[in-house]
Structure 1
Amino acid sequence: MKKMKLLIILLFICGCTPQQSQPQSQPIPPTPLPENDFLIIGHRGASAYAAGHTLAAYEMAVLMGADYIEIDLQMTKDGKLVALHESVVTLDNAQQAVADVTFDEIQLLSPGKEFDKNHLSYTLPNSLDLRIVDLSKILTYFGDRVNYYIEMKSPRVYPGIEEELLRQLNEHHLLNRDDPIPKVIIQSFSDKSLQEVFALEPSIPLIKLYKFSKKAHLTKKELKDVTKYAAGVGVNVEAVNHKFIDKMHSENLLVHPYTVNDENMMRSLMSFGVNGIFTDRPDVALRVRNDKNSNEIELYP
Protein backbone atom coordinates (compact mmCIF):
# COMPACT_ATOMS: atom_id res chain seq x y z
CA MET A 1 0.00 0.00 0.00
CA LYS A 2 2.86 2.34 0.90
CA LYS A 3 4.54 1.51 -2.40
CA MET A 4 1.33 2.40 -4.24
CA LYS A 5 1.10 5.77 -2.47
CA LEU A 6 4.73 6.49 -3.24
CA LEU A 7 4.16 5.67 -6.91
CA ILE A 8 1.15 7.98 -7.06
CA ILE A 9 3.15 10.82 -5.45
CA LEU A 10 6.00 10.35 -7.93
CA LEU A 11 3.62 10.35 -10.86
CA PHE A 12 1.98 13.50 -9.55
CA ILE A 13 5.32 15.24 -9.11
CA CYS A 14 6.48 14.25 -12.58
CA GLY A 15 3.20 15.35 -14.08
CA CYS A 16 3.36 18.74 -12.41
CA THR A 17 7.01 19.44 -13.19
CA PRO A 18 7.07 22.21 -15.79
CA GLN A 19 8.49 21.07 -19.11
CA GLN A 20 11.66 22.76 -20.21
CA SER A 21 10.90 25.05 -23.12
CA GLN A 22 12.59 24.09 -26.38
CA PRO A 23 14.96 26.74 -27.70
CA GLN A 24 13.31 28.59 -30.58
CA SER A 25 15.22 28.57 -33.84
CA GLN A 26 16.42 31.96 -35.01
CA PRO A 27 14.80 33.33 -38.20
CA ILE A 28 16.94 32.90 -41.29
CA PRO A 29 18.22 36.27 -42.54
CA PRO A 30 17.80 37.19 -46.22
CA THR A 31 20.75 36.43 -48.48
CA PRO A 32 22.47 39.76 -49.21
CA LEU A 33 23.88 41.15 -52.44
CA PRO A 34 27.29 42.85 -52.73
CA GLU A 35 26.81 46.46 -51.60
CA ASN A 36 29.65 48.06 -53.52
CA ASP A 37 28.83 46.72 -56.97
CA PHE A 38 26.83 48.74 -59.51
CA LEU A 39 25.00 46.01 -61.39
CA ILE A 40 24.04 46.37 -65.04
CA ILE A 41 20.88 44.35 -65.62
CA GLY A 42 19.96 43.71 -69.26
CA HIS A 43 16.22 44.46 -69.27
CA ARG A 44 14.72 41.56 -71.25
CA GLY A 45 18.22 41.31 -72.66
CA ALA A 46 19.58 44.19 -74.75
CA SER A 47 16.03 44.98 -75.76
CA ALA A 48 16.85 48.31 -77.40
CA TYR A 49 18.71 46.39 -80.09
CA ALA A 50 16.87 43.08 -80.46
CA ALA A 51 13.39 41.81 -79.67
CA GLY A 52 13.21 41.37 -75.91
CA HIS A 53 13.22 37.96 -74.26
CA THR A 54 14.84 36.26 -77.24
CA LEU A 55 18.17 34.45 -77.21
CA ALA A 56 19.55 37.14 -79.51
CA ALA A 57 18.64 39.90 -77.03
CA TYR A 58 20.15 37.98 -74.13
CA GLU A 59 23.32 37.15 -76.03
CA MET A 60 23.71 40.76 -77.07
CA ALA A 61 23.30 41.92 -73.46
CA VAL A 62 26.08 39.58 -72.37
CA LEU A 63 28.39 40.79 -75.16
CA MET A 64 27.66 44.39 -74.16
CA GLY A 65 28.82 43.77 -70.62
CA ALA A 66 25.59 43.21 -68.67
CA ASP A 67 26.11 41.61 -65.26
CA TYR A 68 22.68 39.98 -65.41
CA ILE A 69 20.09 39.14 -68.02
CA GLU A 70 16.54 39.81 -66.88
CA ILE A 71 13.92 37.17 -67.62
CA ASP A 72 10.18 37.70 -67.14
CA LEU A 73 8.41 34.39 -66.59
CA GLN A 74 4.91 33.33 -67.53
CA MET A 75 3.58 29.76 -67.49
CA THR A 76 1.78 28.12 -70.41
CA LYS A 77 -1.16 25.74 -70.25
CA ASP A 78 1.18 22.76 -70.52
CA GLY A 79 3.41 23.98 -67.68
CA LYS A 80 6.26 25.55 -69.64
CA LEU A 81 7.97 28.60 -68.13
CA VAL A 82 8.33 31.06 -71.00
CA ALA A 83 10.29 34.30 -71.23
CA LEU A 84 7.52 36.77 -71.90
CA HIS A 85 6.52 40.11 -70.39
CA GLU A 86 2.83 40.10 -71.24
CA SER A 87 0.34 37.68 -69.72
CA VAL A 88 -1.87 37.94 -72.82
CA VAL A 89 -0.91 37.10 -76.41
CA THR A 90 -2.67 37.53 -79.75
CA LEU A 91 -3.21 34.30 -81.70
CA ASP A 92 -5.48 34.01 -84.75
CA ASN A 93 -6.44 37.67 -84.29
CA ALA A 94 -7.79 36.94 -80.80
CA GLN A 95 -6.31 37.74 -77.42
CA GLN A 96 -5.67 34.78 -75.17
CA ALA A 97 -4.12 34.40 -71.74
CA VAL A 98 -0.72 32.71 -71.74
CA ALA A 99 -2.11 30.34 -69.11
CA ASP A 100 -4.68 29.12 -71.67
CA VAL A 101 -2.34 28.33 -74.56
CA THR A 102 0.36 25.71 -75.06
CA PHE A 103 4.03 26.34 -75.66
CA ASP A 104 3.68 25.11 -79.26
CA GLU A 105 1.02 27.75 -79.83
CA ILE A 106 3.26 30.42 -78.31
CA GLN A 107 5.93 29.43 -80.82
CA LEU A 108 3.69 30.71 -83.63
CA LEU A 109 4.35 34.26 -82.43
CA SER A 110 7.12 36.36 -83.94
CA PRO A 111 8.41 38.82 -81.31
CA GLY A 112 10.57 40.50 -83.93
CA LYS A 113 7.56 41.51 -86.02
CA GLU A 114 6.83 44.51 -83.81
CA PHE A 115 10.48 45.30 -83.34
CA ASP A 116 11.49 47.89 -85.90
CA LYS A 117 10.76 51.08 -84.04
CA ASN A 118 14.16 52.52 -83.21
CA HIS A 119 16.20 51.52 -86.29
CA LEU A 120 19.40 51.43 -84.29
CA SER A 121 22.60 50.23 -85.91
CA TYR A 122 22.63 47.14 -83.67
CA THR A 123 19.20 45.98 -84.82
CA LEU A 124 19.37 42.43 -86.17
CA PRO A 125 18.41 41.96 -89.83
CA ASN A 126 16.88 38.53 -89.14
CA SER A 127 14.63 39.64 -86.30
CA LEU A 128 11.56 38.04 -87.90
CA ASP A 129 13.14 34.62 -87.38
CA LEU A 130 13.35 35.07 -83.60
CA ARG A 131 11.01 33.09 -81.38
CA ILE A 132 9.85 33.14 -77.78
CA VAL A 133 11.89 30.72 -75.71
CA ASP A 134 11.24 28.77 -72.53
CA LEU A 135 13.40 29.01 -69.44
CA SER A 136 14.85 25.55 -69.89
CA LYS A 137 16.27 26.51 -73.29
CA ILE A 138 17.77 29.72 -71.91
CA LEU A 139 19.43 27.88 -69.03
CA THR A 140 20.72 25.17 -71.35
CA TYR A 141 22.03 27.71 -73.86
CA PHE A 142 23.86 29.96 -71.37
CA GLY A 143 24.54 27.53 -68.53
CA ASP A 144 26.61 29.15 -65.79
CA ARG A 145 28.46 31.63 -68.03
CA VAL A 146 25.88 34.34 -67.28
CA ASN A 147 23.92 35.56 -64.26
CA TYR A 148 20.13 35.46 -64.18
CA TYR A 149 17.75 38.08 -62.79
CA ILE A 150 14.35 36.40 -62.93
CA GLU A 151 10.93 37.94 -62.40
CA MET A 152 7.89 35.84 -61.64
CA LYS A 153 5.07 37.62 -63.43
CA SER A 154 1.55 37.33 -61.97
CA PRO A 155 2.45 34.28 -59.84
CA ARG A 156 -1.08 33.96 -58.47
CA VAL A 157 -2.23 33.16 -62.01
CA TYR A 158 0.30 30.32 -62.22
CA PRO A 159 0.02 27.97 -59.23
CA GLY A 160 3.29 26.12 -58.68
CA ILE A 161 5.48 28.55 -60.64
CA GLU A 162 7.82 28.97 -57.67
CA GLU A 163 8.44 25.23 -57.30
CA GLU A 164 8.96 24.75 -61.05
CA LEU A 165 11.39 27.66 -61.23
CA LEU A 166 13.46 26.33 -58.33
CA ARG A 167 13.39 22.82 -59.81
CA GLN A 168 14.89 24.05 -63.08
CA LEU A 169 17.50 26.19 -61.34
CA ASN A 170 18.55 23.19 -59.26
CA GLU A 171 18.59 20.98 -62.32
CA HIS A 172 21.07 23.34 -63.99
CA HIS A 173 23.23 23.59 -60.84
CA LEU A 174 22.69 27.33 -60.44
CA LEU A 175 21.91 27.44 -56.72
CA ASN A 176 24.07 27.33 -53.58
CA ARG A 177 27.25 28.26 -55.43
CA ASP A 178 30.31 30.22 -54.43
CA ASP A 179 30.44 32.95 -57.08
CA PRO A 180 31.70 36.56 -56.87
CA ILE A 181 28.09 37.71 -57.27
CA PRO A 182 25.01 35.49 -56.95
CA LYS A 183 24.29 33.46 -60.05
CA VAL A 184 20.53 33.97 -59.62
CA ILE A 185 18.38 36.81 -58.27
CA ILE A 186 14.58 36.49 -58.15
CA GLN A 187 12.17 39.42 -58.13
CA SER A 188 8.42 39.90 -58.05
CA PHE A 189 5.72 42.41 -57.21
CA SER A 190 4.13 39.63 -55.11
CA ASP A 191 5.40 39.52 -51.55
CA LYS A 192 3.56 36.24 -51.02
CA SER A 193 5.39 34.61 -53.92
CA LEU A 194 8.77 35.89 -52.75
CA GLN A 195 8.10 34.65 -49.24
CA GLU A 196 7.31 31.23 -50.65
CA VAL A 197 10.61 31.17 -52.53
CA PHE A 198 12.40 32.31 -49.38
CA ALA A 199 10.85 29.47 -47.41
CA LEU A 200 11.84 26.92 -50.06
CA GLU A 201 15.31 28.25 -50.93
CA PRO A 202 16.58 31.05 -48.65
CA SER A 203 19.99 31.13 -50.39
CA ILE A 204 18.61 33.16 -53.32
CA PRO A 205 18.72 36.97 -53.00
CA LEU A 206 15.22 38.36 -53.49
CA ILE A 207 14.09 41.74 -54.77
CA LYS A 208 10.65 43.17 -54.00
CA LEU A 209 9.31 45.22 -56.88
CA TYR A 210 7.31 48.41 -56.43
CA LYS A 211 5.69 50.89 -58.77
CA PHE A 212 4.90 54.28 -57.26
CA SER A 213 2.73 56.96 -58.80
CA LYS A 214 4.52 59.62 -56.73
CA LYS A 215 7.80 59.73 -54.85
CA ALA A 216 8.95 56.32 -53.67
CA HIS A 217 8.15 55.70 -50.02
CA LEU A 218 7.63 52.70 -47.75
CA THR A 219 5.85 52.77 -44.40
CA LYS A 220 7.52 51.43 -41.26
CA LYS A 221 5.41 48.27 -41.49
CA GLU A 222 6.24 47.76 -45.16
CA LEU A 223 9.93 48.16 -44.38
CA LYS A 224 9.75 45.76 -41.47
CA ASP A 225 7.99 43.15 -43.61
CA VAL A 226 10.26 43.39 -46.66
CA THR A 227 13.51 43.22 -44.68
CA LYS A 228 12.47 39.79 -43.39
CA TYR A 229 13.04 38.16 -46.78
CA ALA A 230 14.42 40.63 -49.36
CA ALA A 231 17.92 41.84 -50.19
CA GLY A 232 16.65 44.91 -51.99
CA VAL A 233 13.91 46.69 -53.87
CA GLY A 234 13.22 47.41 -57.52
CA VAL A 235 11.54 50.77 -58.12
CA ASN A 236 10.30 52.62 -61.20
CA VAL A 237 12.93 55.23 -61.99
CA GLU A 238 10.43 58.10 -62.11
CA ALA A 239 9.75 57.67 -58.39
CA VAL A 240 13.32 57.28 -57.15
CA ASN A 241 14.78 60.03 -54.99
CA HIS A 242 17.87 60.51 -52.85
CA LYS A 243 15.94 60.29 -49.56
CA PHE A 244 14.38 56.96 -50.51
CA ILE A 245 17.74 55.49 -51.53
CA ASP A 246 19.35 56.55 -48.25
CA LYS A 247 16.45 55.10 -46.27
CA MET A 248 16.67 51.75 -48.05
CA HIS A 249 20.40 51.63 -47.46
CA SER A 250 19.90 52.36 -43.76
CA GLU A 251 17.71 49.24 -43.67
CA ASN A 252 20.35 47.18 -45.53
CA LEU A 253 18.21 47.09 -48.68
CA LEU A 254 19.79 47.70 -52.07
CA VAL A 255 18.03 49.73 -54.76
CA HIS A 256 17.71 48.73 -58.44
CA PRO A 257 15.64 51.28 -60.44
CA TYR A 258 13.90 50.30 -63.69
CA THR A 259 14.05 51.01 -66.65
CA VAL A 260 16.93 53.45 -67.28
CA ASN A 261 18.05 54.20 -70.83
CA ASP A 262 19.10 57.84 -70.65
CA GLU A 263 22.83 58.32 -70.10
CA ASN A 264 22.46 61.45 -67.97
CA MET A 265 19.94 59.68 -65.75
CA MET A 266 22.34 56.77 -65.34
CA ARG A 267 25.05 59.18 -64.16
CA SER A 268 22.67 60.88 -61.74
CA LEU A 269 21.52 57.58 -60.24
CA MET A 270 25.09 56.44 -59.78
CA SER A 271 25.86 59.67 -57.93
CA PHE A 272 22.79 59.02 -55.73
CA GLY A 273 24.26 55.66 -54.78
CA VAL A 274 21.87 53.19 -56.41
CA ASN A 275 23.24 49.66 -56.55
CA GLY A 276 22.34 48.83 -60.14
CA ILE A 277 19.88 49.58 -62.93
CA PHE A 278 17.68 47.76 -65.38
CA THR A 279 18.42 49.01 -68.87
CA ASP A 280 17.61 48.19 -72.48
CA ARG A 281 21.08 49.55 -73.34
CA PRO A 282 23.76 47.68 -71.39
CA ASP A 283 26.49 49.15 -73.60
CA VAL A 284 25.61 52.68 -72.51
CA ALA A 285 25.44 51.65 -68.85
CA LEU A 286 28.84 49.98 -69.11
CA ARG A 287 30.38 53.14 -70.55
CA VAL A 288 28.90 55.21 -67.72
CA ARG A 289 30.19 52.79 -65.10
CA ASN A 290 33.64 52.71 -66.67
CA ASP A 291 33.74 56.51 -66.78
CA LYS A 292 32.85 56.67 -63.09
CA ASN A 293 35.48 54.11 -62.18
CA SER A 294 38.10 55.95 -64.23
CA ASN A 295 37.27 59.24 -62.53
CA GLU A 296 37.56 57.63 -59.11
CA ILE A 297 40.99 56.23 -60.00
CA GLU A 298 42.13 59.70 -61.09
CA LEU A 299 40.79 61.27 -57.89
CA TYR A 300 42.34 58.64 -55.66
CA PRO A 301 45.55 57.45 -57.39
Structure 2
Amino acid sequence: MKRIILVALLIFTLASSQLTLAKDNQLMAQATLPTGEEFYIGAHRGASAYAPENTIAAFELAIEMRSDYIELDVHETKDNVLVAIHDDTVDRTTNGSGKVGEMKISEIKELDAGSWFNETYPDHSNESYIDEKVPTLEEVFRKFGRATNYIIELKTRGIEKRVLDLLQQYKLLEENGRSNCIIIQSFDKESLQIIHSQNKSIPLFQLLKHPIIGKGTDKELKEIKKYAIGIGPNIDRITKQYVEEVRKYNLFIHPYTVDKKKEMKRVIDWGVSGFMTNYPEHGKKVLQ
Protein backbone atom coordinates (compact mmCIF):
# COMPACT_ATOMS: atom_id res chain seq x y z
CA MET A 1 0.00 0.00 0.00
CA LYS A 2 2.79 2.42 0.91
CA ARG A 3 4.49 1.65 -2.40
CA ILE A 4 1.32 2.51 -4.30
CA ILE A 5 1.03 5.81 -2.44
CA LEU A 6 4.68 6.68 -3.17
CA VAL A 7 4.22 5.93 -6.88
CA ALA A 8 1.08 8.05 -6.95
CA LEU A 9 2.90 10.96 -5.29
CA LEU A 10 5.76 10.67 -7.78
CA ILE A 11 3.36 10.74 -10.72
CA PHE A 12 1.57 13.75 -9.24
CA THR A 13 4.86 15.62 -8.72
CA LEU A 14 6.00 14.96 -12.28
CA ALA A 15 2.63 16.02 -13.67
CA SER A 16 2.72 19.24 -11.63
CA SER A 17 6.23 20.03 -12.90
CA GLN A 18 5.14 19.50 -16.50
CA LEU A 19 2.09 21.71 -15.99
CA THR A 20 4.25 24.51 -14.54
CA LEU A 21 6.68 24.22 -17.46
CA ALA A 22 3.80 24.30 -19.93
CA LYS A 23 2.43 27.45 -18.31
CA ASP A 24 5.86 29.10 -18.47
CA ASN A 25 6.22 28.18 -22.13
CA GLN A 26 2.71 29.46 -22.85
CA LEU A 27 3.59 32.82 -21.28
CA MET A 28 6.75 33.09 -23.39
CA ALA A 29 4.77 32.16 -26.51
CA GLN A 30 2.14 34.80 -25.80
CA ALA A 31 4.58 37.62 -25.13
CA THR A 32 7.70 37.75 -27.25
CA LEU A 33 10.20 40.50 -28.00
CA PRO A 34 9.29 42.87 -30.86
CA THR A 35 12.71 42.91 -32.48
CA GLY A 36 13.94 39.88 -34.36
CA GLU A 37 17.53 40.68 -33.39
CA GLU A 38 19.41 38.13 -31.32
CA PHE A 39 20.79 41.02 -29.25
CA TYR A 40 19.22 44.44 -28.81
CA ILE A 41 20.27 47.91 -27.72
CA GLY A 42 17.90 50.32 -26.03
CA ALA A 43 18.63 54.03 -26.25
CA HIS A 44 18.17 55.11 -22.63
CA ARG A 45 15.82 58.13 -22.66
CA GLY A 46 16.83 58.41 -26.30
CA ALA A 47 20.44 59.12 -27.28
CA SER A 48 20.66 61.04 -24.02
CA ALA A 49 24.45 61.45 -24.03
CA TYR A 50 24.07 63.71 -27.08
CA ALA A 51 20.65 65.34 -26.74
CA PRO A 52 18.26 66.35 -23.95
CA GLU A 53 16.80 63.16 -22.45
CA ASN A 54 13.23 62.12 -23.23
CA THR A 55 12.81 64.66 -26.02
CA ILE A 56 11.96 64.27 -29.69
CA ALA A 57 15.53 65.36 -30.49
CA ALA A 58 16.98 62.53 -28.39
CA PHE A 59 14.63 59.98 -29.93
CA GLU A 60 15.39 61.11 -33.48
CA LEU A 61 19.11 60.82 -32.82
CA ALA A 62 18.68 57.35 -31.29
CA ILE A 63 16.87 56.16 -34.41
CA GLU A 64 19.57 57.73 -36.57
CA MET A 65 22.13 55.72 -34.56
CA ARG A 66 20.19 52.54 -35.42
CA SER A 67 19.06 51.78 -31.87
CA ASP A 68 16.82 48.72 -31.70
CA TYR A 69 14.57 50.49 -29.19
CA ILE A 70 14.02 53.98 -27.87
CA GLU A 71 13.44 53.87 -24.12
CA LEU A 72 11.29 56.57 -22.52
CA ASP A 73 9.76 57.31 -19.12
CA VAL A 74 6.10 58.16 -18.66
CA HIS A 75 4.46 60.32 -16.00
CA GLU A 76 0.96 61.81 -15.88
CA THR A 77 0.05 65.49 -15.59
CA LYS A 78 -2.62 66.99 -13.35
CA ASP A 79 -5.05 66.93 -16.28
CA ASN A 80 -4.32 63.27 -17.10
CA VAL A 81 -1.97 63.72 -20.06
CA LEU A 82 0.88 61.22 -20.39
CA VAL A 83 4.27 62.89 -20.84
CA ALA A 84 7.80 61.64 -21.47
CA ILE A 85 9.88 62.71 -18.50
CA HIS A 86 11.98 60.75 -16.00
CA ASP A 87 11.73 62.63 -12.72
CA ASP A 88 8.50 63.29 -10.85
CA THR A 89 9.39 67.00 -10.97
CA VAL A 90 10.37 69.21 -13.91
CA ASP A 91 13.21 70.84 -11.97
CA ARG A 92 16.23 68.93 -13.30
CA THR A 93 15.40 68.78 -17.02
CA THR A 94 13.57 72.06 -17.65
CA ASN A 95 13.79 75.71 -16.65
CA GLY A 96 10.74 75.31 -14.43
CA SER A 97 9.92 73.79 -11.06
CA GLY A 98 7.15 71.72 -9.62
CA LYS A 99 5.76 68.20 -9.59
CA VAL A 100 4.61 66.79 -12.91
CA GLY A 101 1.45 65.41 -11.32
CA GLU A 102 0.51 68.84 -9.99
CA MET A 103 0.97 70.70 -13.30
CA LYS A 104 -1.32 70.95 -16.31
CA ILE A 105 0.02 70.04 -19.73
CA SER A 106 -0.32 73.68 -20.82
CA GLU A 107 2.07 74.69 -18.02
CA ILE A 108 4.60 71.98 -18.88
CA LYS A 109 4.51 72.90 -22.56
CA GLU A 110 5.66 76.43 -21.68
CA LEU A 111 8.93 75.08 -20.29
CA ASP A 112 12.32 74.84 -22.02
CA ALA A 113 13.48 71.21 -21.82
CA GLY A 114 16.66 71.66 -23.85
CA SER A 115 18.81 74.56 -22.67
CA TRP A 116 19.84 72.77 -19.47
CA PHE A 117 21.54 70.13 -21.62
CA ASN A 118 23.64 72.72 -23.48
CA GLU A 119 24.76 74.21 -20.18
CA THR A 120 25.51 70.84 -18.54
CA TYR A 121 27.15 69.17 -21.56
CA PRO A 122 28.80 71.94 -23.61
CA ASP A 123 30.73 69.40 -25.73
CA HIS A 124 27.43 68.16 -27.16
CA SER A 125 25.47 71.42 -27.07
CA ASN A 126 23.35 72.39 -30.04
CA GLU A 127 21.40 75.60 -30.58
CA SER A 128 18.47 73.58 -31.90
CA TYR A 129 17.99 72.14 -28.41
CA ILE A 130 17.06 75.54 -27.01
CA ASP A 131 13.36 75.58 -26.10
CA GLU A 132 12.96 71.86 -26.82
CA LYS A 133 9.64 70.77 -25.33
CA VAL A 134 8.60 67.92 -23.04
CA PRO A 135 6.73 65.64 -25.44
CA THR A 136 3.50 63.86 -24.67
CA LEU A 137 3.45 60.11 -25.22
CA GLU A 138 0.89 60.68 -27.97
CA GLU A 139 3.23 63.11 -29.72
CA VAL A 140 5.98 60.48 -29.65
CA PHE A 141 3.67 57.86 -31.17
CA ARG A 142 2.37 60.34 -33.75
CA LYS A 143 5.90 61.32 -34.72
CA PHE A 144 7.48 57.86 -35.02
CA GLY A 145 4.58 55.43 -35.25
CA ARG A 146 5.77 51.95 -36.17
CA ALA A 147 9.09 53.24 -37.53
CA THR A 148 10.84 52.20 -34.31
CA ASN A 149 10.47 49.92 -31.28
CA TYR A 150 9.64 51.35 -27.87
CA ILE A 151 10.55 50.47 -24.29
CA ILE A 152 8.05 52.36 -22.15
CA GLU A 153 8.84 52.73 -18.47
CA LEU A 154 5.80 53.39 -16.32
CA LYS A 155 6.73 55.84 -13.55
CA THR A 156 3.25 56.32 -12.08
CA ARG A 157 0.74 53.67 -11.04
CA GLY A 158 -2.77 54.23 -12.37
CA ILE A 159 -1.82 55.15 -15.94
CA GLU A 160 -1.87 51.59 -17.29
CA LYS A 161 -5.21 51.81 -19.12
CA ARG A 162 -4.40 55.15 -20.73
CA VAL A 163 -1.10 53.74 -22.01
CA LEU A 164 -2.86 50.69 -23.45
CA ASP A 165 -5.52 52.90 -25.05
CA LEU A 166 -2.85 54.99 -26.78
CA LEU A 167 -1.04 51.89 -28.01
CA GLN A 168 -4.31 50.67 -29.50
CA GLN A 169 -5.16 54.07 -30.96
CA TYR A 170 -1.83 54.30 -32.81
CA LYS A 171 -2.03 50.68 -33.94
CA LEU A 172 1.05 49.64 -31.99
CA LEU A 173 -0.80 46.51 -30.95
CA GLU A 174 -1.92 43.88 -33.44
CA GLU A 175 -5.61 43.01 -33.84
CA ASN A 176 -5.11 39.97 -31.63
CA GLY A 177 -3.61 42.16 -28.90
CA ARG A 178 -0.01 41.11 -29.46
CA SER A 179 2.71 43.73 -29.47
CA ASN A 180 5.41 43.69 -32.10
CA CYS A 181 7.10 47.00 -31.32
CA ILE A 182 6.52 47.56 -27.61
CA ILE A 183 8.08 46.52 -24.29
CA ILE A 184 6.66 47.90 -21.05
CA GLN A 185 8.82 47.98 -17.94
CA SER A 186 8.59 49.35 -14.43
CA PHE A 187 10.05 49.13 -10.94
CA ASP A 188 6.43 48.87 -9.77
CA LYS A 189 5.43 45.20 -9.69
CA GLU A 190 1.73 45.96 -9.25
CA SER A 191 1.70 48.26 -12.27
CA LEU A 192 3.11 45.48 -14.44
CA GLN A 193 0.62 42.99 -13.02
CA ILE A 194 -2.22 45.33 -13.97
CA ILE A 195 -0.94 45.44 -17.56
CA HIS A 196 -0.54 41.66 -17.58
CA SER A 197 -4.09 41.14 -16.34
CA GLN A 198 -5.44 43.27 -19.21
CA ASN A 199 -3.17 42.05 -22.00
CA LYS A 200 -0.97 39.00 -21.56
CA SER A 201 0.60 39.43 -25.00
CA ILE A 202 2.59 42.57 -24.17
CA PRO A 203 6.23 41.85 -23.18
CA LEU A 204 6.82 43.08 -19.63
CA PHE A 205 10.12 43.60 -17.83
CA GLN A 206 10.55 43.96 -14.09
CA LEU A 207 13.16 46.61 -13.29
CA LEU A 208 15.36 45.81 -10.28
CA LYS A 209 17.54 48.31 -8.45
CA HIS A 210 18.73 45.61 -6.06
CA PRO A 211 18.26 42.16 -7.58
CA ILE A 212 18.57 39.37 -5.05
CA ILE A 213 21.92 37.64 -5.53
CA GLY A 214 22.51 34.19 -4.04
CA LYS A 215 19.96 32.91 -1.55
CA GLY A 216 16.55 34.15 -2.63
CA THR A 217 17.36 34.51 -6.35
CA ASP A 218 15.18 31.56 -7.34
CA LYS A 219 12.20 32.81 -5.35
CA GLU A 220 12.40 36.28 -6.88
CA LEU A 221 12.77 35.03 -10.46
CA LYS A 222 9.91 32.52 -10.07
CA GLU A 223 7.63 35.31 -8.87
CA ILE A 224 8.62 37.65 -11.71
CA LYS A 225 8.06 34.93 -14.30
CA LYS A 226 4.36 34.82 -13.38
CA TYR A 227 3.74 38.15 -15.13
CA ALA A 228 6.92 39.22 -16.98
CA ILE A 229 9.21 37.77 -19.64
CA GLY A 230 12.33 39.59 -18.51
CA ILE A 231 14.15 41.77 -16.01
CA GLY A 232 16.10 45.01 -16.18
CA PRO A 233 18.61 45.02 -13.31
CA ASN A 234 21.11 47.66 -12.24
CA ILE A 235 24.39 46.87 -14.06
CA ASP A 236 26.38 47.51 -10.86
CA ARG A 237 24.47 44.81 -8.96
CA ILE A 238 24.80 41.77 -11.23
CA THR A 239 27.38 39.07 -11.93
CA LYS A 240 27.96 36.50 -14.65
CA GLN A 241 26.53 33.81 -12.39
CA TYR A 242 23.39 35.87 -11.86
CA VAL A 243 22.90 36.32 -15.61
CA GLU A 244 23.24 32.56 -16.05
CA GLU A 245 20.61 31.98 -13.36
CA VAL A 246 18.21 34.38 -15.09
CA ARG A 247 18.65 32.66 -18.45
CA LYS A 248 18.00 29.26 -16.83
CA TYR A 249 14.53 30.57 -16.07
CA ASN A 250 14.07 31.40 -19.75
CA LEU A 251 13.84 35.10 -18.89
CA PHE A 252 15.29 37.92 -20.94
CA ILE A 253 17.68 40.33 -19.21
CA HIS A 254 18.71 43.86 -20.21
CA PRO A 255 20.73 45.70 -17.55
CA TYR A 256 20.82 49.47 -17.19
CA THR A 257 22.71 51.74 -17.74
CA VAL A 258 25.69 50.36 -19.70
CA ASP A 259 27.76 53.24 -21.06
CA LYS A 260 31.40 52.11 -21.09
CA LYS A 261 32.59 49.93 -23.97
CA LYS A 262 34.38 47.53 -21.63
CA GLU A 263 31.14 47.10 -19.67
CA MET A 264 29.26 46.45 -22.90
CA LYS A 265 31.73 43.76 -23.91
CA ARG A 266 31.60 42.21 -20.45
CA VAL A 267 27.82 41.87 -20.23
CA ILE A 268 27.64 40.58 -23.80
CA ASP A 269 30.11 37.86 -22.81
CA TRP A 270 27.96 37.12 -19.77
CA GLY A 271 25.02 36.35 -22.04
CA VAL A 272 22.58 39.22 -21.51
CA SER A 273 19.76 39.71 -24.02
CA GLY A 274 20.55 43.39 -24.51
CA PHE A 275 21.24 46.56 -22.53
CA MET A 276 20.13 50.15 -22.02
CA THR A 277 22.69 52.83 -22.81
CA ASN A 278 23.03 56.57 -23.25
CA TYR A 279 25.53 55.83 -26.05
CA PRO A 280 23.71 53.57 -28.52
CA GLU A 281 26.28 54.08 -31.28
CA HIS A 282 29.01 52.64 -28.99
CA GLY A 283 26.92 49.53 -28.50
CA LYS A 284 26.54 49.06 -32.24
CA LYS A 285 30.30 49.36 -32.74
CA VAL A 286 31.00 46.81 -29.97
CA LEU A 287 28.66 44.36 -31.67
CA GLN A 288 30.40 44.66 -35.05
TM-score range, shorter chain: 0.7 to 0.9
Return the alpha-carbon distance in structure 1 between the equivalents of residues 277 and 287 of structure 2.
Answer: 13
Q: Which residue pairs with 1:32 in the alignment?
A: 32
CA pair 264-191 structure 1, distance change in 2 beyond 3 A: same
Return the alpha-carbon distance in structure 1 between the equivalents of residues 219 and 82 of structure 2.
Answer: 33
Q: How far off is 1:83 after superposition?
A: 0.1
1:208-287 to 2 correspondence within 5 Å? 208-212=206-210, 218-287=216-285
Q: How far off is 1:256 after superposition?
A: 0.4
- Are 1:216 and 1:235, in contact at CA under 8 Å, matched by a contact in 2? no
1:59-78 to 2 correspondence within 5 Å? 59-78=60-79
Return the alpha-carbon distance in structure 2 between the equivalents of residues 143 and 93 of structure 1.
Answer: 29
Give the TM-score of the pair, scaled to structure 1.
0.79
Aligned length: 258
Q: Which structure is higher in helix share?
A: 2
Q: Deviations over 1:27-64 (max 9, x none)?
A: 66251337972111010100000001110100000000
Return the alpha-carbon distance in structure 2 between the equivalents of residues 216 and 100 of structure 1.
Answer: 41
Q: Which residue pairs with 2:109 in the alignment?
A: 107
RMSD value over aligned CA atoms? 2.5
Look up the SS of the partner of 2:127 in the other structure: coil
CA pair 95-67 structure 1, distance change in 2 beyond 3 A: same
- Answering whether residue 163 of structure 2 is matched by residue 168 of structure 1, we say no
The ranges of structure 1 where at least 4 consecutive aligned residues each deviate by more than 6 angstroms after the TM superposition are 91-94
Give the TM-score of the pair, scaled to structure 2.
0.83
Q: Deviations over 1:247-292 (max 9, x none)?
A: 00000111101011111111111111111111111111111112xx
CA pair 93-230 structure 1, distance change in 2 beyond 3 A: closer
Q: Deviations over 1:165-207 (max 9, x none)?
A: 00000001111379xx930000001111101101111111000
Return the alpha-carbon distance in structure 2 between the equivalents of residues 265 and 249 of structure 1.
Answer: 19
Q: Which residue pairs with 2:286 in the alignment?
A: 288
Most deviating of 138-147 and 104-113: 104-113
Point out where structure 2 has 5 or more consecutive residues left out of the alignment. Answer: 1-21
Return the alpha-carbon distance in structure 2 between the equivalents of residues 111 and 70 of structure 1.
Answer: 17
Return the alpha-carbon distance in structure 2 between the equivalents of residues 164 and 288 of structure 1.
Answer: 38
Identity, in percent, stands at 35
Computing the radius of gyration from Cα coordinates, the structure with the larger value is 1
> What is the aligned counterpart of 2:203 among 202, 205, 217?
205
